Chain A
Amino acid sequence: MKILIVEDNRHLVQDMQEFLQENGFLIEKAGFLEEARQKINLYKYDLIILDLGLPDGNGLELIPEIKRNDPSAGIIILTAKDTVSEKVKGLEMGADDYITKPFHKAELNARINSTLRRGKFDGNSALEYGHIKINTSARQVLVNNTPLNLTKIEYDLLLYFMYNKNRMLTKESIVEHLWGDRIDESDSFNFIYNHIKNLRKKIQKLAPVNYIHSMYGIGYKFSDKEQD
């Protein structure tokens, strides 16, 4: 999977690059609108992460060109401007999703995966890890080939874990993924705790391994390896 990151902040690009490479993506970078334009016209990308505030223009300009060159390419808008109109404009022009700075890398990873999944595999792909299989289009979960009944939140939580397996996810990142800013953090950590407890119990009934590990009270890690 090849991803083009169009973003002018080198630190951020480098950080994203390292992270996404660890997740098995091929990364190319462009710091300017013109540079990005050239790359889009020369190469094919599965997904383009597009910052809107570029030094030589607004990233929105690129969307029609991307769509013209390769309609199947996914586009995720990356912006600090959380103005609704900018986002809406981007989505209307053909972007698949948006993510607002500052974001959790795990969140970006989840968005990338779900965008790619929708585009490339017509939503039919199955995610598999250890004893767990998820059919994302049917929203169906199998543990040890037995269907697992999950609430909507538990399903979203599991999917988020599956996209970011073997990586510690902070509670903040999980809360933001599940509820955005609809919830006050003082409340939310208890909710997370309860949901995770339930999810863990449900999986453990069918699988011999504990997948969800609590990490120093900061977050959780989804892994089939036992933690110490």
Chain B
Amino acid sequence: MPDFQSYKLLSKTTLIYLLFTLTAFLVSAFFLTNEADEYINKELEGRFNHTEQKIRRAIQQKETERAKRYAEITVLNQKPADFSLITYSDTLITDSEITERDFFRKKTFYMEQDGSFYKVSILKSIGDFYRLRDDIFEALLPAFFVLVIVIVVFNYFLSGYFFKPFNLILNHMRAFKVGQKKVDHVETSTTEFIRMQNLFSKMVNTIDEDYNNLKEYTENMAHEIQTPLSIIRNKTENLLADEDLMAHHGHDVKTIFDETNYLSRLGQALNLFTKIENREFSNPQDIKTEAVIRKHLSAVNDTIQMKNIKVETELSATHTLFLDPSLLDILLKNLLRNAIQYASSDGPLTVATTADSFTISNYGDPLPFPEEKLFIRFQHNNNSKKSLGLGLAIVKKICDLNNLNLAYNYHEKQHIFTIRGNLMSSVVP
């Protein structure tokens, strides 16, 4: 897993979408207020012009007093330096009539009439215009928030619906096992999901093909390599029986014989490993272990006696493992062989089951290597060069593939292997 946080695709797109919408809203708000400003200016200019004409007319007709009704008019003694300048300014003025502060726009210009100069300042109320402009802006914000809520809610409900095929495909992927021929088709009209599903099917086919090739190769190897080994071994046995030859080359022939035997056992064990890995033992069932364990114990009875080990059993009649019967045999055989091989006679070899656990333990010196290496292939005690070092790796593999928890402990001089199980409830995922 990456160490940064992950977000759902839909949340991401929603967030981005909302950011874009917000921008769009802001832009349109800006545009609309601009439009409004333009409208206000145009409208005011019309009104200013209208009043200005009235004032000019009044002053032309020498009715300055009447003109003063419309504007503030100052008579100037001389022509101002900035005569042609027209200025506008917005001010906040308390209207004497309504005693309310409001925005006004003031237009100031100069005029000349019969040699007299006038400074005219016209005031027009623009408060209403400004309020209109603010209203436009304020109406946009709630609209945006309503949109946000609607989108989020819709996404929340729709994600379940839209992503249902996606999750189904994911489940199929999760459940996929090598060697499985077909993957169920998920009906969907979403292009991306169709593409994903097609790609997945294609991958499954490739994996299946590779798997079959590998399987075929392994099987052929198993068959083809065992026969030559068989021949080598038999021929060597012929040599072993030749007393003249043995007198001269006894050691060499013995070495060839030993190594051939080792190769042959190695090949068989690795084949078994591959078969387990390929799930060729695929007939799992609930097995009551008591009888099976007793059968295995009696099969090794004489080796136990020869090693002078005592065996203590405490078997639960209800202990059950969900496993292919052949795998249970392989599992028990290997665990017992391991326990017997390394058992010292300091104490008993114990096989115990409870309702939900299986334990096998033997006395012995601590491991000469780190515990983690115990279940690794070809890890074995140096003093037993002849053992393959595959037994416990096979046990581990079987447990892993069948959801069994295999644990190792060294406690009070005892090597303890515990298998806790899937019990009856084990549904293969």
The residues of A with any CB-CB pair to B shorter than 8 Å are 9, 11-12, 15-16, 19, 53, 80-84, 100-105, 151-153, 167-168, 170, 172-173, 179, 181-188, 190-191, 194, 215-216, 218-219
Complex: A137 Cα to B75 Cα, angstroms: 151
CB distance from A199 to the nearest CB of B (A): 13
Please name 8 pairs of A and B residues whose Cβ atoms are closer than 8 Å in the assembled complex, sorted by A.
A9-B227, A9-B231, A53-B223, A81-B223, A84-B281, A184-B384, A191-B303, A215-B246
B215 contacts chain A at the CB level, 8 A cutoff: no
Most chain A beta-carbon neighbours within 10 Å: one of B271, B272, B302, B333: B302
Complex: A183 Cα to B386 Cα, angstroms: 12
The one of B226, B240, B385, B387 in contact with A218, judged by C-beta atoms closer than 8 angstroms, is B240
Identify the stretch in B85-93, B336-344, B405-413 within 8 Å (CB) of chain A at 4 or more residues. B336-344
Residues of B within 8 A of A83 (CB): 275, 280
CB distance from B241 to the nearest CB of A (A): 5
Chain B positions 346-398 with a Cβ under 8 Å from a chain A Cβ = 383-387
Complex: A54 Cα to B299 Cα, angstroms: 34
CB distance from A198 to the nearest CB of B (A): 11
Query: Nearest residue in B to A191 (C-beta to C-beta)?
Result: B306
Q: Are A216 and B250 in contact (CB under 8 A)?
A: yes
Complex: A184 Cα to B384 Cα, angstroms: 9
Complex: A190 Cα to B341 Cα, angstroms: 12
Main secondary structure of the interface of A (DSSP, over half): mixed
B134 contacts chain A at the CB level, 8 A cutoff: no
Q: Are B227 and A12 in contact (CB under 8 A)?
A: yes
The one of B219, B233, B271, B303 in contact with A183, judged by C-beta atoms closer than 8 angstroms, is B303
Q: Are A186 and B387 in contact (CB under 8 A)?
A: yes
Residues of B within 8 A of A15 (CB): 231, 234-235
Q: Are A170 and B257 in contact (CB under 8 A)?
A: yes
B36 contacts chain A at the CB level, 8 A cutoff: no
CB distance from A174 to the nearest CB of B (A): 13
Chain B positions 268-292 with a Cβ under 8 Å from a chain A Cβ = 268, 271-272, 275, 280-281
B222 contacts chain A at the CB level, 8 A cutoff: yes
B198 contacts chain A at the CB level, 8 A cutoff: no
Residues of B within 8 A of A82 (CB): 268, 271-272
Q: Are B272 and A179 in contact (CB under 8 A)?
A: no
Chain B positions 219-253 with a Cβ under 8 Å from a chain A Cβ = 219, 222-223, 226-231, 233-235, 237, 240-241, 246, 250
